[in-house]
Structure 1
Amino acid sequence: MTTKKELRNRIKVLKNEQNKKDWERTSDAIFAQIEETESFKKASSILAYWSMSDEVMTHKTVEHWSKCKKVYLPLINGDDLELVRFEGTEKMKPEPVFGILEPTSDDKVDICNIDLVIVPGVAFDNCCNRMGRGKGYYDRLLSESVAVKIGVAFSFQIVDNVPVDPHDVPLDMVVTEAGIINR
């Protein structure tokens, strides 16, 4: 069985081999599929993420969705994530650890008030298991959530088996440019 460290390294190599010029178009295709789901249509509050350079691109989608739904982004606070409303790129600042832009709004929400969660990850499998970067931020947060949990990934991030620990939280679905995987 592949270890999480080995799998993270393998996906990193695959990411570096990709043509990143295609990532915006591919990311748009992923989010177009999400917008067609009942879970998205019913959701009034969404937790998304502000993508880093090696993730499914969310910037355009977050800005678009925030015009018709309450969109929240995670803010790192110690070992946990705070959920802060996205109110436009002019109200964002880089956080000190990863340099990710984070919202500066005072409008915060508890995870129990989120209808839909869009989750990044390093790798996913066909059982909707997710492997993140190893800090456990999302697993701690998702363990408290009853929201629909959707992982977003490029097709090359889908693997046969993601190593799973007892604290890992499976998702309800994973969406790639090739389609939707349901649990």
Structure 2
Amino acid sequence: MPRTDEAEHWFNAVYEAVQEIPLGCVTTYGHIARLLGYPRRARQVGICLKHLPSNRTNRTSSAKGGGDESAEEDENDEQGEIYHHFHDDNVPWQRVVNSKGTISHRGPGSASRQAVALRHEGVTVEQDAMGDFYIDMARYGWFPARLPSEEGESEDSDSLEEEET
């Protein structure tokens, strides 16, 4: 089912925000929602990450001789494979956890896959007696007041106003 323009904009905003989480850091679904100006949309951030496309279709089309340029021009390549601008290789989905610092279970093996990906980035992931994976958010947490891409935006507009006067 195709997404509405509003939903597509939200998904893309979430993916762009998650791309700004530094290597070796972790944040929460709620913090991403807050950074985007919608503090009550933590679950929707989780839904976006749950539906993040796999890069397998991109790899498949490139391996079959379809270049990235042709895939970007046409959403479907000659093999019918779909090209996704945002996918699990360029959006570090693994860096987002729940507010308790634990990895949410989204399906069989998903939590352990996320733990492996985080450990690969140097994040220590512990497992408790119940089998839940958790991260020390005091050590690895990333909670800026603004996204790094937004830093200086208001300063730039302020300096432009000063130059005009």
Instruction: Give the TM-score range, shorter chain.
Output: 0.3 to 0.5
- TM-score, with structure 2 as normaliser: 0.35
Structure 1 or 2, whichever has the larger Rg, is 2
Determine which structure has greater relative contact order: mean sequence separation of CA pairs < 8 Å that are 6+ residues apart, divided by chain length: 2
Report the structure, 1 or 2, having the larger strand content: 1
- TM-score, with structure 1 as normaliser: 0.32
